[in-house]
Chain A
Amino acid sequence: MTESSNIESALLSRLAAGDERALAELYDRLSPLAYGLALRVAGNPDVAEDAVQDAFLRVWHRAERYDATRGAARPWFLRLVRNIVIDQLRARGSRDRAELRSGTQSDDVAAPERPDDAVVRRERAASVRAALEALPADQRRAIEIAYFEGLSHTEIAARENTPLGTVKTRIRDGVERLRAHFGRKEAHV
């Protein structure tokens, strides 16, 4: 487990004990990731905000449901955010979703970040995006459909009219490449 995972796992334990400050700390650590993910999946800032708020409040009330033995806290929370967004979109229907995707601008003013945090985040985001863009298009598309839209491999295969094995291979190869990219990068630091 990484240092980030340990910190976030400890914050979830404090949340389970009703520590409000732990909620604030967790929010400060994960809200840019959660909001960016939600915004990417929903394509609408209002839906993204609602989903992020819903996710943090669910964790606040039921943090004890997090099981550290089943995985790190961060991806667990991000998966929760993504699933909430998808549920909201499904509840609104596909037509609304299409309308939502047409406008992604938010009127809200973004929360100010500490300058050094913002720099680090932007650099990392740019690096990951670059790695994603370096992937073959079919791999990148398969990964984005799988992780942003929450479709199963079978569903992706049906929608893309592609064999299931091909979909699995594309996703697996793409993720492996990303990990190899970051592994090499971290090794050079």
Chain B
Amino acid sequence: MSDERERPIGVEERELDDFALEALAEAYATPPPAALRQRILGTAREETAVTASRRATTRWRVVGAIAATVGLALVGLLAREHGIAEERLAALHTAESTAADRLAALHAAESTAAELTARLETQGNTLVGLREALAAQAQVLRVMGSPHTVSAALSPTEGRGGAGRIHVDPSTGDGAIVLAGVDALAPGKVYELWALRGDAPPEPAGLLDVVGPDLVVARVQGVTRPSEVTAFAVSIEPAGGSKSPQGPIVLAGPVQG
């Protein structure tokens, strides 16, 4: 709407200009056609309604655009959070997997250690057995070298197998026993040696460590008054031995003159 075509003018000049324009317009003032008034007012009303409608549409578009923007931002945020959560979950899975691997390795190491321990224990037992056997053989040699021994040949009782021989130094009560062909014992069982004096109840004379099924060489210690022993017997007893025979007697034999 440009209504200022002239160059900038002073106040007085503008007043003159305004006055002249008004004067000329008044000089030629003419009532416009009757229909023009209604046409202008009707057009103004219609254009106002259209503008209001456009403004309302624009407002809704703006609201829609804002809602869409917020929605996109939320979706983006959720996607980002989802991504972070997935990354954390993946890291958790990795950590869990690593922990499981380490646990399995630990179990394997533990199992290996247990096996090694068991093997060491077995080897230790074997070593103890061998040492015991070696001591027993030395004891046998020592007793056999003695001028007087109390000896007995042990025979299997009915239904049993194997055989044995015992030598005891009458001066010390120490000696050795050799068993062959006896049965291997079930866990929690031991062979126990008994000294018999006539009709008196059997006296415990020591537990026998059985190294193998074929040959047992064990030391015998502390047999009291060996010269008065009339016979020896071997029975199967619970681990730790018994004060009097509880289990079956598997070998027995009289002291030889």
Contact = CB atoms under 8 A, between A and B. Distances in A.
Interface of A: 18, 20, 23-24, 27-28, 31-37, 39-40, 45, 48-49, 52-53, 56-62, 65, 71-72, 74-76, 78-80, 82-83, 106, 108-113, 118, 121, 124-125, 128-129, 131-132, 143-144, 146-148, 150, 152, 171-172, 174-176, 178-179, 182
B29 A32 contact: yes
A60 B43 CA distance: 10
Given A24-B41, A37-B25, A110 B1 contact: no
B187 to A, nearest CB: 110
Interface residues of B, number: 38
A174 B16 CA distance: 10
A105 B204 CA distance: 159
B27 A60 contact: no
Nearest to B13: A172
Contacts of A83: 2-3, 5
B156 to A, nearest CB: 131
Contacts of B47: 57, 60-61
B33 A49 contact: yes
18 contacts: A32-B32, A37-B25, A52-B36, A53-B39, A60-B47, A62-B1, A83-B2, A106-B33, A111-B31, A111-B37, A125-B29, A128-B23, A128-B24, A131-B23, A147-B24, A152-B5, A178-B20, A179-B16
A172 B12 CA distance: 11
Contacts of B31: 31-32, 35, 110-113, 118
B37 A39 contact: no
A40 B20 contact: no
A144 B41 contact: no
Given A33-B26, A61-B47, A175-B16, 8 more contacts: A37-B28, A72-B18, A74-B22, A75-B18, A111-B36, A171-B20, A179-B16, A182-B23
A59 to B, nearest CB: 8
**Shortest beta-carbon contacts, A-B, top 3:** A108-B33, A75-B18, A128-B27
A148 B6 contact: no
B23 A178 contact: yes
Contacts of B29: 32-33, 35-36, 121, 124-125
Contacts of A72: 18
A23 B47 CA distance: 14
B122 interface: no
B14 interface: yes
Interface in B6-59: 6-7, 14, 16-37, 39-41, 43-45, 47-48
Given A80-B1, A128-B23, A178-B23, A32 B18 contact: no
Given A58-B1, A110-B32, A78 B44 contact: no
A182 B48 CA distance: 41
A121 to B, nearest CB: 5
A31 B25 contact: no
